[in-house]
Structure 1
Amino acid sequence: MDTEYAYSVSMSIRHGLLALLERGPSHGYQLRAEFDAATGATWPLNVGQVYTTLARLERDGLVAQDGVPDTEGRIAYRLTDQGRDEVRAWFGSPVNQKAAPRDELAIKLALAVTTPGVDVLSVVQTQRTSTMTAMQEFTRLKVRAAEDDLAWSLVLDSMVFRAEAEIRWLDHCEARVARAAARRPQNTAVETSSAPTGPAARR
């Protein structure tokens, strides 16, 4: 896994578990269930991830074991004062976009336009179809989501908005690729054998 991506994911899990422990002591299985419930299992965790993260949080002094293991050998964890400070700092600060995972789609298109033999418009069209399908599914989930499930509804809103923005960006990319192709001689790195289906077709 890309180091930058792994760091971003681990930080999200780290602070997510701390926020859940703000509600009271819990063991790993409870935390996984609560995390999945809050996010609609959009980013499912496995118990191994949870306990590995808890061990690191304990090492850093942000959580501590609470009491003795239960009858099934599970250990509950609680926030320390330092952990509460960490949660407050997380909620009080913005997410740093520079620390977000690299955008695989942007990288793919950047390489597509500079790689001989790649049909860039086909790459765009394939992604647009996939993103539109995903957006329709998110919209269906929103309709079925319980009105009082605010946490899951907000996650779905975010996914719908991201999909909409990605489709607009893909339309923009298609138009720019088509214009660039019109100004280039044949047999260049940008291949446009597929006819545009988005806004580029109307320009």
Structure 2
Amino acid sequence: MSVRQSLLAILDQGPCYGYQLRAEFDRRTGSTWPLNVGQIYNTLERLERDGLVQKGDIDEQGHVYWRITAAGSVEAAEWLRSPVPRQPGTRDELAIKLALAATLPGADVTGVIRAQRRASLAHLRSLQGAADPEPAGAEELAKSLVIDAMIFSAEAELRWLDHAQQLLARHPGPELHLELSAERPKRGRPAKASV
């Protein structure tokens, strides 16, 4: 998720100060991803450095209003038009954990799946409880879109866990376990020469 482009898209609607940007982001995403105000101000400073926003008026409370530049409006519009790129490979901790558990001698991969399934199911039920099947206004609709995406993701995780369990059941026993390789990588820290 790009905080940078999200802030630009909000600023494209009109000038805002930092806490106001945080409130607008929360309002427009159903408060499902809290941003801290320090992150917002750091991002604003980088956006200013890049010529995408500039400091504007200061109100009587001392709030500095940030304004989007023409270049910032172009970047915000481009971001909204462009698909979200998916990264090659995975940094999904669960997938990596399960792959490691499946190949480590003595690891209880079935227990890993069982514990994750319980947690994932509890998470799914929590999300379903927070879902609004008939959102009434813009803020409710925004929250519903984000929660629905989280529900679909949780359902996909449960389907993947079922798939992983079936795949592992077809390959029982120690043939999956990997011992440490005797082959040494070519790179590494050289041994220190003795003096």
For the aligned pair, the TM-score class normalised by the smaller chain equals 0.7 to 0.9
C-alpha distance in 2 between matches for 1:108 and 1:17: 34
Secondary structure of residue in 2 paired with 1:78: strand
**Do structure 1's residue 120 and structure 2's residue 93 form an aligned pair?**
no
| 2:86 corresponding residue in structure 1 | 97
Residue 123 of structure 2 corresponds to which residue in structure 1?
Answer: 134
Task: Find the aligned partners of 1:40 and 1:118 in 2 and give their Cα distance.
Answer: 40
For the pair 1:41 / 2:8, whether they are aligned, the reply is no
2:68 equivalent among 65, 74, 79: 79
Structure 2: which amino acid aligns with 1:131? S
Asked if the contact 1:66–1:77 (Cα under 8 Å) also holds between the matched residues in 2, the reply is yes
RMSD: 2.0
The equivalent residue for 1:53 is 43
Q: Give the letter for the 2:7 counterpart.
A: L
Structure 1 residues 179-200: Cα deviation after superposition (integer angstroms, max 9, x where no partner): 111xx358x639xxxxxxxxxx
Residue by residue over 1:149-192, the C-alpha shift from the partner in whole angstroms, topping out at 9 and shown as x without a partner, is 211110011000001111000000011111111xx358x639xx
Structure 2 CA distance for aligned equivalents of residues 106 and 166 of structure 1: 10
With normalisation by structure 1, the TM-score equals 0.80
**TM-superposed deviation, 1:70:** 2.4
Match of 1:151 in 2: 142
- Compared with structure 1, are the counterparts of its residues 108 and 13 closer, same or farther at alpha carbon in structure 2 (3 Å cutoff)? same
- 1:43 CA displacement: 1.3
5+ long unaligned stretches in structure 1: 1-8, 191-203
Gaps of 5+ in 2: 179-195
- The total of aligned residue pairs comes to 176
TM-score where L is the length of structure 2: 0.83
**1:50 Cα shift?**
0.5
2:54·2:66 contact (CA, 8 Å) conserved in 1? yes
Q: Quick one: which amino acid aligns to residue 81 of structure 1?
A: A
Amino acid paired to 1:150:
L
CA–CA separation in structure 2 for the residues paired with 1:185 and 1:32: 52
> Is the alpha carbon distance of 1:144 and 1:167 closer, same or farther for their aligned partners in structure 2, counting shifts above 3 Å?
same
The Cα shift of 1:138 comes to 1.0
Which structure has the larger Rg over C-alpha atoms?
2
More helix by share: 1
Percent of counterpart pairs with the same letter?
Answer: 49
Residue 41 of structure 1 deviates from its aligned partner by 2.0
Q: Is the 8 A contact 1:118 1:189 kept in 2?
A: no
- CA shift in 2, pair 1:131/1:120, >3 Å: same
